[in-house]
Structure 1
Amino acid sequence: MIVQRELEFRILYDLDDDWMSFGGFLAIVAEFRGMDTPPDEVAETIRWFAETGLVALGALSDNEYGWEAWNVGLDEAMKRIANGSTSGRGYKQAAGVAELMTTEVFRANITEKGGCRLAELEKQGLTYWTTLGPFRSTRG
């Protein structure tokens, strides 16, 4: 999978502020690839970020941090995101976009490597305003 630099920046930029759910990935990926981007393609983008070590996958938790990394391999993590877990419905069971936007099946967290990559992209001149996707909605 190829993830364009601007998309990579936007996801890391948002992750630097807070954990990102499937809905967060869906919104940003759709901004770059179109509103009809299938959930499987969003999942492949999530996989790319995890494979490259830019994010850790996990879920909201009742621990002192509010989030907990999953101590499973990437294939198992992606199965949870697809099929659901005790955290929420997976994207394969979602009834539509509204459910995809609100599911808490997982949250991604930026890693130290992801933070370094974000800083590198910022040094290259990328900002929120210079990385708006071509399919960005102008509705409020």
Structure 2
Amino acid sequence: MLSAAAGYNLLQLGRSVFVSRYLGNSKGSYRYLAWVSYLLDQMVVYIAFGTNSAAVEHSVLALSGMKEFQWMKWCNKFTRFCFQIGGALVSGYAACALMVLATSISAFNLFRLYSSEKFLRLKST
């Protein structure tokens, strides 16, 4: 799932280049794209976070095992596998944090279209 999220982020990068190059400052057509981009960004972040959390839950079962189902502890036999899974989970949560940052930029770009001109402008010295 995280590779699909990475592919989506590459598509978003291509979309932003397309919008900046071909649409320019036409706010009417850009508002629709900004809403779609914002909603898709939100969905991808929540899905990536959910799949990563489900993987953490399964990893806890691999660490502790479950005697009721006669599942053995995998990390007693496959320690390298458990370290690799731990690294992947940490990387997955780092990717989710970066996607939250990208979503906040997307939200800023969306709500900037609806604000007054003086509200989000930096002060000139």
Which has the larger helix fraction? 2
* TM-score using structure 2 length: 0.26
Name which one, 1 or 2, has greater alpha-carbon Rg: 2
* TM-score using structure 1 length: 0.24
Give the structure, 1 or 2, with the largest relative contact order (CA under 8 Å, sep 6 or more). Answer: 1
Which has the larger strand fraction? 1
